[in-house]
Structure 1
Amino acid sequence: MTQEGALLVVIAVALGLLGLLAWGWHRRTRRDSGLVPPVGEVPAGAAVIGVFPVLYVATTAHDQPLERLAVRGLGFRSRADVTVTDAGVALDLTGQPRLFIPRAQILAASQATVAIDRVVERDGLARLDWHLTTPDGTTVVDSYFRPQQTSARALVDALRQLSDPAPTTGGDA
């Protein structure tokens, strides 16, 4: 085989692989097209608990850290700011409209080590479990963040303030 022939074979294989990747992503976006991102602003009067610069890693199916969801605005890694307020969490991803997850939709926060295409030191990721709107109601998803200027523990502690039950006042008066 000549060099030109070998080059054509390599190019054909590369184009075939790129085509398969594009076809797979297209099928994923069709599958997840009913998932509605929570676009919105922080309610007026909400108290800010903290603002955390992060690398947004992914949003995945709940407890399936290798199953990325192709939700509009949440499908790709990005630099972001996570603003934790007493009313919920605002996500400001580069080039996307602000997303706001109300407190009522937040289930839990924890630390993680692995998410799709990202493996870090033990407990180096912050994971937020929350309800995402679907045509049939809601589904539970997990969003992963890699804090840039603080520890994952600090972000998780701030997020846990939203997932913990509201304190009740008790008295025997």
Structure 2
Amino acid sequence: MTPAPQLAARLVPAFAAEQKSAPVTDWAARIGWLVALALFVALVYWLMREGWKWRGHLQGDLPALETAPHDPGPARLTMSGRYHGSTTAGQWLDRIVAHGLGARSRAELTLTDAGLDVSRPGAADFFVPAGALREARLDKGIAGKVLTEGGLLVVTWAHGDRLIDSGFRSDHAAEHGDWVDAINSMIKTDSTEGAER
């Protein structure tokens, strides 16, 4: 009978002889797949960009945005937070991109007797005159952003012949209720004064 060490010594060379080296990686195929993937991603990005530009072109009838007056009066409320975009009123997925309204950004909101001033670093500022304000409410979403119920301040305003919903989120969400009350009371006051005249 063959001792175990001798048997192992005979099997190791036989086993080593049967082993084959791993196949060499096919670099040409891998590089080809990576290039194809990069081209596909570039194509999708280009199509998205063209769609954004086309949407802006379709909304070209929208008038230019107003800027804040030099002396809008004392601030009723101020808020720091984010601007999440604007849509056609009542159609929370119909995003408006003309005049930079589609660009998300940080925002500083100031409500005065003259209207709502939206200051956006890195994007176009705009001003909504008090007479153009239609409604303020708490909502859960606007195109591209969905939050918990009441997590978004949505201001409806008239611009040209369109009603627009603009979505904002404060750094302190507890402020949203004060904004809804202030804007809606301002709208009621303006409409009451207009009816008396």
- TM-score class, shorter: 0.7 to 0.9
Cα distance in 1 for partners of 2:180, 2:132 equals 16
1:140 partner SS: strand
Alignment of 1:53-92 (within 5 A): 53-92=80-119
User: What residue in structure 1 maps to residue 186 of structure 2?
Assistant: 162
User: Which stretches in structure 1 are left out of the alignment for 5+ residues?
Assistant: none
2:82 partner SS: strand
Note if 1:142 corresponds to 2:165.
yes
TM-score (norm 1): 0.86
Cα distance in 2 for partners of 1:27, 1:150 equals 34
Which is richer in helix?
2
* Identity over aligned pairs, percent: 24
Note if 1:101 corresponds to 2:143.
no
Instruction: Between the two structures, name the one with larger relative contact order (CA 8 Å, sep ≥ 6).
Output: 1
User: What residue in structure 2 maps to residue 119 of structure 1?
Assistant: 146
Q: Which has the larger radius of gyration?
A: 2
CA contact (8 A) 2:105 2:123 kept: no
User: Which stretches in structure 2 are left out of the alignment for 5+ residues?
Assistant: 1-27
Specify the code of the residue in structure 2 equivalent to 1:130: W
Cα distance in 2 for partners of 1:86, 1:11 equals 53
Cα distance in 2 for partners of 1:97, 1:23 equals 21
How far has the Cα of 1:44 moved from its partner?
A: 2.8
Q: Report how many aligned residue pairs link the two structures.
A: 165
TM-score (norm 2): 0.76
Which is richer in strand?
1
**1:87-146 residue CA offsets vs partner (Å, 9 max, x unmatched):** 21111011345422111111111011011111112101001111112xxxx211100000
- Root mean square deviation of aligned Cα: 2.1
Note if 1:21 corresponds to 2:21.
no
Deviates more, 1:2-11 or 1:51-60: 2-11
How far has the Cα of 1:168 moved from its partner?
A: 5.8
1:26 partner SS: helix
How far has the Cα of 1:45 moved from its partner?
A: 5.8
CA contact (8 A) 1:80 1:93 kept: yes
Specify the code of the residue in structure 2 equivalent to 1:65: W
Deviates more, 1:82-91 or 1:31-40: 31-40
